[in-house]
């Protein structure tokens, strides 16, 4: 079975631009979460979506938004990019919503903001 997939793998943007990152969960998984990982640190939680509804949001500005589609895939949007948004953006999926399920991560999108 395919794991979590993300696109694109790498992206270079300039300050002020907007970016959309995409994620397809493991088949049968209904929950998608997004994390930001800055070099040398652990992943930081951005959003969780379950059944197309936002279930949790981390401490990120409103420039970050996301949505989940009927097929459970998800997009993360970041507006007005800053240099500090350069990071690895990870998507994770789990079967259900809540703390009892293991989250499985995709390979990530490496975003560089110049």
State the residues that interact with other proteins by CB under 8 A: 4, 33, 35, 40-45, 48, 55-56, 58, 90, 92, 97-100, 102-108
Distance CA 67, CA 90 (A): 15
Distance CA 59, CA 16 (A): 20
Residue whose CB is less far from other proteins, 85 or 108: 108
At its nearest, how many Å lie between other proteins and the CB of residue 64? 14
Q: Which 3 state secondary structure label does DSSP give 13?
A: strand
Residue whose CB is less far from other proteins, 16 or 45: 45
Contact 28, 5 (CB under 8 A): no
At its nearest, how many Å lie between other proteins and the CB of residue 55? 5
At its nearest, how many Å lie between other proteins and the CB of residue 16? 27
Residue whose CB is less far from other proteins, 79 or 104: 104
At its nearest, how many Å lie between other proteins and the CB of residue 75? 19
Residue whose CB is less far from other proteins, 61 or 98: 98
Distance CA 38, CA 71 (A): 29
Contact 31, 47 (CB under 8 A): no
Q: Exposed, middle or buried, 83 (CB in 10 Å: 0-12/13-18/19+)?
A: exposed
């Amino acid at each position: 079975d395919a794991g979590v997939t993300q696109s694109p793998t790498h992206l270079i943007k300039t300050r002020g631009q907007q970016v959309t990152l995409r994620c397809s969960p493991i088949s049968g998984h209904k929950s998608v979460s997004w994390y930001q990982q800055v070099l040398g640190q652990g992943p930081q939680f951005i959003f969780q979506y379950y059944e197309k509804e936002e279930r949790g949001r981390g401490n990120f500005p409103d420039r970050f938004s996301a949505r989940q589609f009927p097929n459970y895939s998800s997009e993360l949007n970041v507006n007005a990019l800053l240099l500090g948004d350069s990071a690895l953006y990870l998507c994770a999926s789990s079967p259900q919503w809540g703390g009892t399920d293991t989250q499985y991560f995709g390979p990530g999108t490496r975003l560089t903001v110049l």
